[in-house]
Chains A and B, each alone.
Chain A
Amino acid sequence: MKMTVRLVPAGALAVLLALGVIATDVAVQAAPQAKVIKIRAKRFDYTPGNITVKKGQPVVLELTSKDVLMGLNLPDFNVRGDMIPEKVTRVRFTPDKTGTFTFVCDIFCGSRHEEMHGTITVID
């Protein structure tokens, strides 16, 4: 999302200058609104396990666990967070490439730990 800052009317310029605030004739790129995705882990899966996001749009993952301490590691975007029962861990990233990427539990959580994974698909 692009936000344009309009030029300030001449009459107000002096006031703004006096306040130390100046608007220039440039277009300012505002940060797109982040997409918030809640992911809950339980032994031995993630809900949801497959997520789709847009390239360039910031993503906030809200991570929690239903039962034991687990992790979510998304190496392709250098993103990881602990998933703690009754707590929310927030991790933020902005996908800069398209494709489907695997995330895994990186805290050994039990007999089917190695089956615990999900995917994030990034589209244009």
Chain B
Amino acid sequence: MNNPIDRRTFLRLTGLSGVGVVLASALPGVARARDDDFYFLQLSDTHWGFEGAPNPDAKGTLPKTVRSINSLEQRPDFIIFTGDLTHTTDNPVERRKRLSEFKSIVSELDVKTVHFMPGEHDASLDNGKAYQEFFGKTRYTFSHKGVHFIVIDNVSDPRAQFGEEQLAWLAAELQRLPADAPIVVFAHRPLFDLVPQWDWATRDGARAVELLMPYKNVTVFYGHIHQEHHHMTGHIAHHAAKGLMFPLPAPGSQPNRTPLPWNPAEPYKGLGFRSVEADVDEKSYRITEYPVVRG
């Protein structure tokens, strides 16, 4: 496919015109559909197993999201879930039950490639043991059409840190790449101190950012904070995704990070998923936010 397309065409192709907010990230540029361009979806913080007033449709939100994605006219190249697949439980049996149910629901996604990573709710109470039984490694890399994706784990250690061994692994992975390589990092927690008073940070996140800094084209997508948020550390853009169970307040806007109340007049408000359209030549990413239910 060599026909250039603009945002309107892209939205038409995805069948979601007019429902999202588009943000051009990293380098500005007009998205063009070429053989090496692609798009993926980021879903985050599904918190399967949560029960409570902040989401009276706790068991229906994820299946509805799956149906919305399956109704897209153009399949994404892949989907990434950026952690907190399940809501935490102190019971290891229940934890596995939730992971199993989550896996079963998302197996209905009509997308060939789906990547996963844990959040602290999935992994911090057993160092990722149960998570790995269902989804395998908690950190890994893959490449897609010239873009290098690095999935890193700042949750399996309950101290919310990478640790020396993982930082050495990250350094070794990066060392194999040229300085201008397009690199996308997926993490659950923010790598920078967003609101440490709410535990929205990674204890040694600055060291990971330091390792990434010599690379010119790095973009980070993460979850954890249940809302869209954009931040720069130097030339590195960090984009937080909405959650799919309950939204959380704006960073630092109140003393505690309690879930926002459900609004019956606007169900699922603050929840959703995003598409990320990669322009490989421009090394840029166009982000579009979508609600749970297509209008």
Binding site for B on A (CB under 8 A): 69, 71, 73, 75-76, 101-102, 104-111, 113-115, 117
Any chain A CB within 8 A of the CB of B281? no
Q: Name the one of B88, B120, B193, B197 contacting A104, with C-beta atoms under 8 angstroms.
A: B197
Also in contact, A109 and B89, with CB within 8 A (given A75-B196, A76-B197, A104-B199)? no
Do the beta carbons of A110 and B198 come within 8 Å of each other?
A: no
Do the beta carbons of B160 and A104 come within 8 Å of each other?
A: no
Residues of B within 8 A of A115 (CB): 256
What DSSP secondary structure best describes chain A's contact surface?
A: mixed
Q: How far is the CA of A111 from the CA of B121 in the complex (A)?
A: 8
Return A78 CB to nearest CB of chain B, in Å: 10
Q: How far is the CA of A111 from the CA of B257 in the complex (A)?
A: 15
Q: How far is the CA of A102 from the CA of B198 in the complex (A)?
A: 9
Do the beta carbons of A111 and B199 come within 8 Å of each other?
A: no
Any chain A CB within 8 A of the CB of B255? yes
Q: How far is the CA of A24 from the CA of B125 in the complex (A)?
A: 59
Also in contact, A117 and B256, with CB within 8 A (given A73-B196, A104-B197, A111-B88)? yes
Query: For chain B, which range describes its interface: under 10, 10 to 19, 20 to 34, or 35 or more residues?
Result: 10 to 19
Any chain A CB within 8 A of the CB of B90? yes
Also in contact, A107 and B197, with CB within 8 A (given A102-B255, A117-B256)? no
Q: How far is the CA of A108 from the CA of B118 in the complex (A)?
A: 14
Do the beta carbons of A108 and B158 come within 8 Å of each other?
A: yes
Q: Name the one of A71, A75, A108 contacting B124, with C-beta atoms under 8 angstroms.
A: A108
Residues of B within 8 A of A105 (CB): 199
Q: Name the one of B89, B160, B196, B197 contacting A108, with C-beta atoms under 8 angstroms.
A: B160
Q: Which of A69, A71, A109, A111 has the most CB of B within 10 A?
A: A111
CB nearest neighbor in A for B259: A114
Do the beta carbons of A114 and B158 come within 8 Å of each other?
A: no
Do the beta carbons of B198 and A104 come within 8 Å of each other?
A: yes
Residues of A within 8 A of B193 (CB): 75
Return A110 CB to nearest CB of chain B, in Å: 5
Any chain A CB within 8 A of the CB of B207? no
User: What are 9 A-B pairs at a CB distance below 8 A?
Assistant: A69-B158, A102-B256, A104-B197, A105-B199, A106-B160, A108-B88, A108-B120, A108-B160, A114-B257
Any chain A CB within 8 A of the CB of B12? no
Do the beta carbons of B88 and A73 come within 8 Å of each other?
A: no
Q: How far is the CA of A73 from the CA of B158 in the complex (A)?
A: 14
CB nearest neighbor in B for A108: B124
Q: Name the one of A76, A106, A109 contacting B203, with C-beta atoms under 8 angstroms.
A: A106
Do the beta carbons of A111 and B158 come within 8 Å of each other?
A: no
Given contacts A73-B196, A104-B199, A110-B125, 4 further A-B contacts (CB under 8 A): A75-B196, A107-B158, A107-B160, A111-B89
Q: How far is the CA of A113 from the CA of B90 in the complex (A)?
A: 11
0/1 interface trace, chain B 149-169, chain A, CB 8 Å (1 if under): 000000100111000000000
Return B295 CB to nearest CB of chain A, in Å: 32
Also in contact, A73 and B90, with CB within 8 A (given A106-B160, A108-B160)? no
Residues of A within 8 A of B159 (CB): 71, 106-107
Q: Name the one of A69, A71, A75 contacting B197, with C-beta atoms under 8 angstroms.
A: A75
Do the beta carbons of B158 and A102 come within 8 Å of each other?
A: no
Residues of A within 8 A of B155 (CB): 108
Q: How far is the CA of A108 from the CA of B202 in the complex (A)?
A: 12
Also in contact, A108 and B125, with CB within 8 A (given A73-B196, A102-B197)? yes
Q: Which of B89, B159, B160, B197 has the most CB of A within 10 A?
A: B197
B residues 115-130 touching A (CB-CB < 8 Å): 120, 124-125
